[in-house]
């Protein structure tokens, strides 16, 4: 049963192992093959899958082309009753999230968001966010969070984007993640008084992170250098009650 319909796309939750495998194959195509990474000799990646132990603990949202049934976008969501369960999350493997342990309400970690490289229709993203909005509303989620990734591990090309994050979008002190991963880029302290070139900053900002930011989202003060997936990523949080009303109307009206 579709969770959401938009134009030629239907969005639904995965119903079984084969649906999850389809999502894992699309993730592999996007995150591993699409980034030119060498194929693995063993494990899920040797089978063309991007998979980990958290898949079984998540809901998986699938965006499909209604005409062909092809999977064109997917992401997964881990539901937490409150911040006391934050250590279960994928993000907690890379960030010290103890500041969020006292968060009082339901939370959802959104991760592994990807779109098939052959589908550049903006309605795909609109359908995905429409379904996410319904999911969050129905479960009375108070905070949406996850890791937002920059492609590659060289920060040099993203300096203006990081300067903009430092200047306008750092997490409130009460929620600020601390360093846990062994390799990080401490952009908030390293960039000092650097002012961003706004056009270049937004051009280099990952599309998913741009969406979080216009929703009032905030980020960690450092980026994790993830050599496994060849990315730099920042912890990202969106407090639902603080999403601008105009953006809420837009998302709910989608």
Res 36 pLDDT > 80: no
Residues 165-196: tens digit of each pLDDT: 999 999 999 999 999 999 999 999 999 889 99
SS (H, E, C) 103-166: CCCCEEEEEEEEECCCCCCHHHHHHHHHHHHHHHHHCCCCEEEEEEEEECCCHHHHHHHHHHHH
CA torsion 78-2-128-238 (nearest 10°) is -40
Instruction: For residue 117, name the pLDDT band (cuts at 50, 70, 90).
Output: very high
The percentage of the chain sitting over the pLDDT mark of 70, rounded to a whole number, equals 98
pTM of the model: 0.93
- Share the mean pLDDT of the chain: 93
What are 52's two structure tokens? 């980990």
Domains of the chain, first to last? 4-252 (3.40.630.30)
Residues 190-226: tens digit of each pLDDT: 998 899 999 999 999 999 999 999 999 999 999 999 9
Res 38 pLDDT > 90: no
Report the alpha-carbon distance of residue 99 to residue 96 in Å, rounded.
8
Residues 100-113: tens digit of each pLDDT: 999 999 999 999 99
DSSP, collapsed to helix, strand or coil, labels residue 4 as strand
Instruction: Give the residue-averaged pLDDT of 8-15.
Output: 94
């Amino acid at each position: 049963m579709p969770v959401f319909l938009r134009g030629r796309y239907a969005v639904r939750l995965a119903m079984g192992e084969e649906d999850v495998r389809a999502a894992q194959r699309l993730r592999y195509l996007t995150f591993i093959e699409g980034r030119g990474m060498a194929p693995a000799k063993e494990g899920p990646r040797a089978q063309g899958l991007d998979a980990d132990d958290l898949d079984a603990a998540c809901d998986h949202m699938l965006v499909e082309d209604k005409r062909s049934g092809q999977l064109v976008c997917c992401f997964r969501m881990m539901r937490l009753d409150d911040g006391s369960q934050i250590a279960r999350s994928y993000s907690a493997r890379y960030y010290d999230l103890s500041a969020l342990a006292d968060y009082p309400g339901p939370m959802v970690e959104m991760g592994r968001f990807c779109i098939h490289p052959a589908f550049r229709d903006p309605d795909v993203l609109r359908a995905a966010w429409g379904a996410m909005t319904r999911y969050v509303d129905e479960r009375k989620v108070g905070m949406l969070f996850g890791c937002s990734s920059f492609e590659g591990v060289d920060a040099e090309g993203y300096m203006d984007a990081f300067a903009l994050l430092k200047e306008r979008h750092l997490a409130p002190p009460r929620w600020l993640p601390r360093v846990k991963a062994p390799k990080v880029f401490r952009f908030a302290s390293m960039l000092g008084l650097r002012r961003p070139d706004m056009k270049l900053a937004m051009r280099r900002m990952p599309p998913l992170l741009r969406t979080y930011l216009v929703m009032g989202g905030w980020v960690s003060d450092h980026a994790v250098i993830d050599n496994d997936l060849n990315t730099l990523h920042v912890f990202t949080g969106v407090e639902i009650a603080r999403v601008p009303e105009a953006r809420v109307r837009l998302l709910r009206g989608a």
